[in-house]
Amino acid sequence: MRNKPVKKIAIISIIGSLLMISQVIDGCKASQMVSNKTGAQLWAENCQRCHNTPSPNSFSPEQWETIGLHMQSRSLITDEERTKIVAFLKQ
Amino acid sequence: MSPTKTIIKWIIFPLGSLISINITEAQQTTIVDSALLERVSVLEQQIASQKPGESHFMVAGLATFGFVTNTTTTTSGGISQKAKTNSFPDVDHFEFSPLFLWRHGSKFLLEFEPSFDGTSLGVNWADVSYFVAPGLILRAGFLVTPFGTYSKRLAAGWIDKLPTDPTGVADYPPTSDFGFEAEGGFPIGSMKWNYDVSLTNGLQLLPDGELQSVGVVDNNKNKTVTARLGLLPISNSSLEIGVSGMFGTVGDANSPYENAKSQSYAADLNYVKLFNPILVNIKGQYNYTFVNDQNYINPGDSSVYTFDNKTTSGFAQISLRPTGAGAAFVKNLELAFRYGRYITPEKSLWGQKSDIIDVSLDYWLSWRTVLKIGYQSNKSTSTAIENSGDETKSESLFIQFAIQL
């Protein structure tokens, strides 16, 4: 289709620009890998991407196990993130 | 009194009394301890019988309802007509959707979410997921296709900052479909990537040129591929950007449209960061869909017509919440603004260009319960094959309550 190359270039340009901007923003801070983060830290960072951070008292430990799987499939957090966040919420 | 009698009276007798009292108390304590121990033992047995097994079932979900008042002014051929409505709840803004979750061990998850929107009972998704390994989840059933992020993550009433969905993004194909999906997320250094790929029956092209996804029976042998790649380039996960594509044959087999194919592209952005005391939340998505050139049938007069069958839609949204404020009431307020643009095919039967502005002031009663007061302005100009140039201006005021169950 005649507009296809333009659309692809536009999308790629937008993504590339955002990547460069993000590296500039983040470049001055010390990066921290997921493995170095606590469950509480991961909970605060990842849950608020979509919704308000839930209170650990909102559900039982068993419910958090189930909700953790559901949230991982929605937000595509890593396996390690899900394990740490659920462990924190179950405390 | 003799010294002996004195000793007996003042020392031995009181001492004996004291000893006898302590013996009596000790006996009573022993009796109490025994009863207590027996009770504790019974409780321990009850607790042991309640320990979790391999499976767990729970109900979550959401409910959204409220009130909307609307004024719509339609101008055609220089003549304007105005209509006012109000309802509780409006069909587009009521939802009762319990989410049934059943987990087996740590590997299997079954999800079923029926939904009642005030007029019909439908299904948002019904699927089973298998958590194969870190970074790989397999899913099968009636699933939300991974096109953009709005439908899969942001559409719930208690998540959406505004009372309305972005026009042309939440309700325009593609949405849910029957098929198979693979997804996962994994770290790369301090960044994270995620992927989501599905193979589904796909959309259906109607003879008038519309693409349909609701109530579609598989209409051809081809399957539709949908995929999204997401990147979180900042180590605190504050920013996510993603690109999506959906490609498939959409025409009915053995029909004039059996070679009709559609391609859809989307780009999405999500940025949430606390700039103390304000939590800044930015979201956006842009969709582009087109179908290769076809000759369509006007159902009004059965005439043949054609048009450039492309649709674009998108929104940009920002919300601000003073989570760092001192007063609890202020802390729970959130102001949201959204601009949306929706363009459907020119010279089709439904061609239009719309600009939609939404503003909402929210009050969070809890992390999952919100009251929204919102306003929407929707200005639309028809580009349809009939009534081209007609203008529609709609203004709505919403009061909406949403809760996660």
What confidence tens digit (pLDDT) does each residue in B105-145 have?
999 999 999 999 888 899 999 999 999 999 999 999 999 99
Residue located via tokens 């767990």:
B56
Confidence at residue A30, expressed as pLDDT on a 0 to 100 scale: 44
Task: Answer whether residue A15 shows pLDDT above 60.
Answer: no
In percent, the amount of chain A with pLDDT more than 70 equals 65
State whether A67 and B60 contact (CB < 8 Å): yes
Question: Would you state the pLDDT for residue B9?
Answer: 66
pLDDT at residue A29 above 50? no
Neighbours of B5 (CB within 10 A): 9
Amino acid identity of B357?
I
Instruction: Please tell me which of the candidates B135, B310, B364 has its beta carbon nearest to residue A52.
Output: B364
| Rounded Cα distance, B185 and B22, in Å | 68
Statement: residue B390 has pLDDT above 70: yes
Mean pLDDT of the A82-86 span: 96
> Where do we find the tokens 């019904």?
B126
Residue B284 structure tokens:
């956006």
Per-residue confidence (pLDDT) for residue B131, from 0 to 100: 97
Provide the residue count of chain A: 91
3-class state of residue B136 by DSSP: strand
Rounded to the nearest angstrom, the minimum Cα separation between A54 and chain B is 6
Query: Mean pLDDT, to the nearest integer, of B317-341?
Result: 97
Least confident of A22-26, B233-237, B395-399: A22-26
User: What is this structure's pTM?
Assistant: 0.83
The answer to ipTM > 0.95 is: no
On the question of pLDDT at B159 being above 50, the answer is yes
DSSP class of residue B328 equals H
* Helix axis angle, A61-75 to A79-90, nearest 10°: 150
pLDDT at A27 over 50: no
Q: Does A26 touch chain B (CB under 8 A)?
A: yes
Write out chain A residues lying below 8 Å of B292, CB-based: 1
* Contact flag A18-B269 (C-beta cutoff 8 Å): yes
Quick check: A1 pLDDT over 50? no
Round to whole Å and give the CA distance between B100 and B337: 32
- B386 has pLDDT over 70: yes
The answer to whether residue A84 scores a pLDDT higher than 90 is yes
> Is residue B329 within 8 angstroms of chain A, CB to CB?
no
**Residue B308: per-residue pLDDT:** 95
Specify burial of residue B35 (Cβ count, 10 A radius: 0-12, 13-18, 19+).
exposed
